[in-house]
Amino acid sequence: MKQFLLLFLFVPLFSQEEDLLDLLNDEEIKTEFVQASFKGTRVVNAQSIEIPKPKILQFMIQHRFGSIENGFYDLFGTDYASIRYDLHYGYSDKISFGAGRSSYNKIYDIFFKTKLLRQSSGKSSLPITIVLYNSIGINSQKKAENDIAIKENFANRILYINQIIIGRKFNRKLSLEVLPTYIHRNLVPKKSDSHSLISFGFAGRYKLSNRVSLNLDYFLPIGERADLFNHGTGIGIDYETGGHVFQIMISTSQGPYEYTFIENSTGSFNSSTLYLGFNISRAFTLGSNKKEEW
């Protein structure tokens, strides 16, 4: 009987040849926020769900050429240029703001981009990211004698862009988002035109490799528009190096500002009046993550 019990006593010793790693895996899972749903803060023309990292100032140049329809005569529109550049500062993981200027209609704009919810996994998981984008644009074109409305009142120069961007990174490669958009313009071209414009945007990216991705965006207007209205559509490729992101695209719009590419796209895929363009963004680090250990 004793011997039997002694034998029993050794059994646990044998069973303890367990993998030491198993001891480490009983830890509580932490909440992890999903990173890098898109490479840049823009998909093609549309805003992505990304904002600059905290304490990073991003300088972005958005360059659009003329229409490609004349082919080699003006080298696919590269004789002409429309440019927007902006500075965009990441204040925290959730808040960013910036200001920019477009040469198209000479619009100055200030904007806020705020992450309301962030996609996460682990302890508290959330399937989507929700970002709010608010921008005020000021048309700074000269007062023209024949354009009495602008002349009369400064408020006539102002337009408001409001977007809710709902996005999800489905896997390493695929990220999609929808962008319900509300634009209010204080001045309308014709009396019968509406001041408030609603549209619904779709955008997505698919990573072809770690550094290259294919991007698409499209805006569907809701409600009445003028006859000549073209839908804002863009297709582009991202190429990322260390601190730069290059985006090369072809789109139906010559201006990279929301009001221009959503409501004033002049090109169409049918008539090959499309616009080549590129975005370059450069991140400047203004501070560093505070850590005692550094």
Partner 1 sequence: MFIMKRLLILFIISMSYGEDIYLTRQGIVEFFSSTPIEDIKAYNNQVSCVLNYESGKFAFQVPIKGFMFKNGLMQEHFNENYLESDIYPKSIFKGMINNWDSLAINDSTLNIRLVGELTIHGVTKTIEQNATIWRKNGNLVGKCKFIISLEDYDVKIPKIVRQNIAELIEINVNVNLSKR
Residue 37 sits at φ, ψ, to 5 deg, of -70, -35
Burial of 148 (0-12, 13-18, 19+ CB in 10 A): exposed
Contact between 32 and partner 1 per CB under 8 A: yes
Beta bridge partners of 129: 167
Contact between 3 and partner 1 per CB under 8 A: no
């050794």: which residue's tokens? 10
| Widest pairwise Cα distance in the chain | 113
Contact between 242 and partner 1 per CB under 8 A: yes
Among 79-87, 133-141, 260-268, 281-289, which window interacts with partner 1 (CB under 8 A)? 281-289
Residue 53 is classified by DSSP as P
Contact 73, 63 (CB under 8 A): no
Q: CA-to-CA distance for 266 and 221, rounded, in angstroms?
A: 14
Task: Report CA torsion sign: 197, 202, 232, 258.
Answer: positive
Contact between 212 and partner 1 per CB under 8 A: no
Residue 29 is classified by DSSP as P
**For partner 1, which residue of 124, 146, 192, 288 counts as binding (CB under 8 A)?**
288
**For partner 1, which residue of 3, 124, 146, 241 counts as binding (CB under 8 A)?**
241
Among 1-9, 157-165, 176-184, 253-261, which window interacts with partner 1 (CB under 8 A)? 1-9
Residues in the interface with partner 1 (CB under 8 A) total 37
Contact between 208 and partner 1 per CB under 8 A: no
The contact mask relative to partner 1 for 89-108 (x = CB under 8 A, - = no) is: -x------------------
Among 31-39, 74-82, 109-117, 149-157, which window interacts with partner 1 (CB under 8 A)? 31-39
Nearest to 50 by CA among 133, 110, 126, 173: 133
State the residues that interact with partner 1 by CB under 8 A. Answer: 1-2, 5-6, 8-9, 12-13, 16, 19-21, 23-24, 27, 32, 35-36, 53-56, 90, 172, 210-211, 240-243, 283, 285, 288-289, 291, 293-294
